[in-house]
Amino acid sequence: MTTSGLSYSELSEDAKQNALNSFIDFYVSQYNKGSLEILGSRVSNELIATINQVLRDNQFMDHHELTEVSARLSKPAYQEILSDLTDVKYQEDGEPVVDWMTAWSEKEEQLPEED
């Protein structure tokens, strides 16, 4: 299945910021649910550990505050993840062609079942 759209590196600066914000919001939600296996199988665990350390240190914050702090302190790690996820395509405004939750649900269904 090929979805047409732009890769992260092809986006304008404003669109990259939009993509980054939507991904950070999604990432923090998945972190809070303990659901980062798919991402862990696709990108450097070092990047994930860097981001997760900031999230752990600030877990007393609500979702909105946590996304802001995480964006400020882990922005380079998030940007590297988005650059590494070359199969994710974006619209010109930076919104993913297939929203993060939908794309993740489909990938989760493909994971092997644990006994």
Does any domain span residue 41? yes
pLDDT, residue 8, reads 95
Domain with 25, as residue range(s), is: 11-86
- Please indicate whether residue 85 or residue 104 has the higher confidence score (pLDDT): 85
Cβ(2)–Cβ(85) below 8 Å: no
Can you give the pTM of this predicted structure? 0.86
Does any domain span residue 37? yes
Does any domain span residue 101? no
**CA 84 – CA 98 distance, rounded (Å):** 17
pLDDT single digits (tens) 41-86: 888 899 999 999 999 999 999 999 999 999 999 999 999 999 999 8
Does any domain span residue 53? yes
Q: Which residues contact 114 (CB under 8 A, 6 or more apart)?
A: none
Domain count, the chain: 1
Does any domain span residue 103? no
